[in-house]
């Protein structure tokens, strides 16, 4: 997994700045993470709380001025079928 960290961060950074087909969770809205999905970054003062539901996690952004930005990594399929989704919890720009 460590060898995938740099490409994952690079892909997420490009996706965050390009804004290409990224799912965004609004403050206090839920987003779902599957078994292999990850929250890879949280801006200081921003976080998401997750509740385990079987192999899924139901997560909620806990700060009003923060949001979760997620993208699927098509090249990374830990189970061989579904692409891994990575999320960052970031502060909403004003």
Q: The whole model's pTM is what?
A: 0.69
Instruction: Provide the β-strand partners of residue 87.
Output: 39, 70
* CA nearest to 41, candidates 10, 93, 87: 87
pLDDT of residue 17: 45
User: What is the torsional sign of CA 78, 18, 39, 2?
Assistant: positive
Q: What is the mean pLDDT of each run of 10 residues along the chain (94 residues)?
A: 52 47 65 94 93 94 90 92 94 79
CA distances from 66 to 24, 53, 71, 89 (A): 11, 24, 17, 7
* CA nearest to 89, candidates 10, 24, 37: 24
26 torsion bin: left (phi>0), alpha (psi -120 to 50), beta (else): beta
Per the structure block, which two tokens stand in for 81? 């079928």
Per the structure block, which two tokens stand in for 20? 């290409």
């Amino acid at each position: 997994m460590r060898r995938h960290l740099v490409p994952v961060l690079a892909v997420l950074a490009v996706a965050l700045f390009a804004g290409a087909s990224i799912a965004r969770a609004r403050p206090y809205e839920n987003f779902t993470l599957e078994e292999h999905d990850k929250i890879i970054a949280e801006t200081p003062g921003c976080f998401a709380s997750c509740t385990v539901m079987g192999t899924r996690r139901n997560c909620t952004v806990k700060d009003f001025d923060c949001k979760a930005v997620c993208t699927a990594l098509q090249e990374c399929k830990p189970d061989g079928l579904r692409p891994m989704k990575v999320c960052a919890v970031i502060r909403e720009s004003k």
